[in-house]
Amino acid sequence: MRRRSAVRRKMLCLWLLLIGFALVALALSDLFNRDSDRNRHKPGPPRQPLQRIASPPDLEVIVDSHDPALELGADLTPLKSLQEDQLLFVPSIHGTKSSPQKKRSYKMLLPGASKDTTVRGPPTHGEMGKAVRLHLEGLERDMELRALQQYGFNEVVSERISLHRRLPEARHPECLGEQHIESLPSASVVICFNDEAWSTLLRTVHSVLDTAPKQYLQEVLLVDDLSQQGHLKTGLSEYVSHLDGVRLIRSTKRLGVGGCRTLGATRAVGEVLVFMDSHCECQKGWLEPLLERIAQDRTRVVSPIMDVIDWQSFRYNATQWPIRGVFDWRLDFFWESNPELQDKDPEMAVQPLQSPALGGGVVAIDRHFFQSVGAYDPGMVLWGAEQIELSIRVWSCGGSMEVVPCSRVGHLIRRHLPYRFPDQDLLQRNKIRIAETWMDTYKKIYYRRDTLAHFIRQSENPNITERLRLKRSLGCRNFHWFLTTVYPQLYIPQDKTALSGELYSVGTGRCADYPQGRGLQGGAMDVAPCTGTGSQHCDLNSEGEVRWGPTGTLCLDTEGERAVLSPCASHRLTPGRLQWKFIKLSGQLVHQLSQLCLEAVKEEGDNKRSTGGLFLRQCTHHPRQQWHFEQLVAPKGA
Ligand code: UDP
Ligand code: MN
């Protein structure tokens, strides 16, 4: 009897224990659910599958294109799925994340932040020991570094920022009250992405949905360019299925930026295509001014002012207007600031500005015009220079380009590109297509400044037959017209034999050098090992100027006894200051104003203070004052 009641008591205890467990589990799951409810719109892929909608209407078109134009990426091996994917699913070490509504409940990681500022938000448990906190900080720094490697920006910071964050107003006050014409065309915003981070991709989508008026926004068309990362698969499809007006299509081949946009264009139905990078944030009122300019002239291709989202802190930095897009003789694109334009004409603040080229971040174009002018060059692969090709083509074949200042969109500029190029020369091959299709004899100027492209071109013939046919059938103008009419500000190098190339110093066996990172304002010249790549190319022209760099806007100048580079335009009025004479027999390069000779001094030993550089000295016949211009690309060109 006693034994039986003992057993019963034990059973009772067990039951009570079980019930206790169940209650605790229930309480915990309730807590968890409330948490996930609060964070429904927080960054990060849905952890639990969202409810499926009955029959997803046109939700996901898997594109298995047999269009040869789309097959160009075929030989690019798909990039491996990364282990770091896991990172995106690591729950925040502080437990709950800031919900979108609590905008300022996170702290930003500032560039060069000290240890303290890397802690975002107070620890959830006040008693957390210092050692544990330090350990977690270490873990977090690790996560940031790995995310940086993977994406080229600090995704950990991005993940803590609302997908609906409000941006500081950056528009000119006169833009705010602007009236637009009544009936604007509809727009399809085409967003191509390849292995984009969840937070930046979805912030782009929400930003468009939150800012573009419904009556003009036909759709947001997401085009997955064969992403490998897990969060962009079903998680994304599910998420998108709950968003009104957003479609997702996936390519089964890696198409590259241009190919992916062309694919998006074939599926888009809006009258205007807005190609947008997958890491952008739009200012209020960004879409209407773009649509209006296109409505007035269907051959206009337009871009907003591209503000800059910092890759480290995700701060929004407004770009100074006026600005326009240009490219240099290495066929690299950049935004060029023209503050002097504004001084001349205060009206400029809200007037669109014609632009020789537009960047790829956001560009809007009439859908029919896009198709008829030849979409993107299908021969260009992966990434690079496709926006320059589009720019030259649009201008040469009857269209125009402009930046519209009342429209502003922020673009995340990465610290480095995340793509592992299967072939280092892809960018050069894209540029070669531009040179061969569009630049006529001016292509030589490019090849001299990019010798790698020159050597590739010598052994390969790009297949540009179709593009040349297109150029003929559209009756496009030649590059001379482009240079003189659209971009007359671009200096046209003379590149005379024996007076252009690398400036080689006989005495030191090195070349005159100006490291690229030093910028367009100029600075001291160096001597450095000759690169042979074209990066040290200069051009002594018939005016006696030694023009440097891919834009040719920097001139060899003097500052005391040092040879420096300065903007040619700033000293052209001082006679002789920028003039040099090359004496072929002695190899001397004589500065006309001072009648001193250019001398190369090699840095000695590992002195802390740099003693090397280019100097002006009394003329002698010392080998350090002997120079010759070494042309790496034969005068006949490619
Ligand atoms: N992209 C793509 N396929 C590629 C490379 C890039 O779809 O093979 C997308 C990328 O996700 C981004 C856009 O094209 O949305 C432009 O690329 P990225 O932002 O890397 O160029 P950047 O702005 O740095 O010049
Ligand atoms: Mn980009």
pLDDT at 327: 98
Query: Which range (432-436, 481-485, 573-577) has the least confidence?
Result: 573-577
Best residue among 72, 155, 192 to mutate for probing ligand 1, ranked by most atoms within 8 Å of CB: 192
278 lines ligand 1 (CB under 6 A): yes
Report the Cα–Cα distance between both ends of the chain, in Å, rounded.
106
Closest CA to 236 of 267, 193, 276, 265: 193
pLDDT at 369: 98
Distance CA 229, CA 84 (A): 9
Q: Which residue's CA is the nearest one to ligand 1's atom 9?
A: 193
334 lines ligand 1 (CB under 6 A): no
Say if CB 255 and CB 72 are below 8 A apart. yes
- 28 phi/psi in degrees, rounded to 5: -65, -45
Ligand lying closest to the C-alpha of residue 255: 1
Ligand lying closest to the C-alpha of residue 414: 1
pLDDT at 143: 86
pLDDT at 20: 56
256 lines ligand 1 (CB under 6 A): yes
Best residue among 198, 224, 275, 278 to mutate for probing ligand 1, ranked by most atoms within 8 Å of CB: 278
Q: Is residue 604's pLDDT more than 80?
A: no
- Three-state DSSP at 413 gives coil
Please report, rounded to a whole number, the percentage of residues in the chain having pLDDT higher than 90: 66
- Three-state DSSP at 537 gives strand
- If phi > 0 it is left, if psi is from -120 to 50 it is alpha, else beta; for residue 62 that is beta
pLDDT at 338: 84
pLDDT confidence tier of residue 46, bands split at 50, 70 and 90: very low
193 lines ligand 1 (CB under 6 A): yes
Say if CB 453 and CB 432 are below 8 A apart. yes
Please report, rounded to a whole number, the percentage of residues in the chain having pLDDT higher than 70: 78
Q: Is residue 609's pLDDT more than 70?
A: no
pLDDT confidence tier of residue 7, bands split at 50, 70 and 90: low
pLDDT confidence tier of residue 278, bands split at 50, 70 and 90: very high
Q: Is residue 340's pLDDT more than 80?
A: no
Say if CB 638 and CB 444 are below 8 A apart. yes
Mean pLDDT along residues 321-332: 97
pLDDT confidence tier of residue 449, bands split at 50, 70 and 90: very high
**Greater model confidence, 50 or 398:** 398
382 lines ligand 1 (CB under 6 A): yes
Q: Work out the burial of residue 292: count CB atoms within 10 Å of its CB; fewer than 13 is exposed, 13-18 middle, 19 or more buried.
A: buried
Ligand lying closest to the C-alpha of residue 415: 1
226 lines ligand 1 (CB under 6 A): no
Parallel, antiparallel, or unpaired for β 187-193 and 272-276? parallel
Q: Which residue's CA is the nearest one to ligand 1's atom 12?
A: 277
pLDDT at 423: 76
Q: How would DSSP label each residue in 149-162?
A: HHHSS-HHHHHTS-
76 lines ligand 1 (CB under 6 A): no
Q: Is residue 74's pLDDT more than 80?
A: no
Query: Which range (299-308, 509-518, 569-578) has the least confidence?
Result: 569-578
CA geometry: angle 66, 71, 77, nearest 5 deg = 125
pLDDT at 607: 52
Mean pLDDT along residues 407-416: 94
Mean pLDDT of the chain: 82
The token duo for 186 is: 């509809």
Q: Which residue's CA is the nearest one to ligand 1's atom 13?
A: 277
Say if CB 563 and CB 577 are below 8 A apart. no
pLDDT at 129: 78
Q: Is residue 574's pLDDT more than 50?
A: yes
What is the helix (H) or strand (E) element at residue 189, kind and residue range?
strand 187-193
257 lines ligand 1 (CB under 6 A): yes
Query: Which range (67-71, 252-256, 396-400, 594-598) has the least confidence?
Result: 67-71
pLDDT confidence tier of residue 602, bands split at 50, 70 and 90: confident
Mean pLDDT along residues 410-435: 89
pLDDT at 454: 96
Query: Which range (61-65, 374-378, 400-404, 486-490) has the least confidence?
Result: 61-65
Which residues does 75 contact at the CB level (< 8 Å), separation at least 6?
Answer: none
Which residue ranges form the domains of the chain, and what is each CATH number?
185-412 (3.90.550.10), 426-486 (1.10.8.460), 500-630 (2.80.10.50)
**Greater model confidence, 238 or 424:** 238
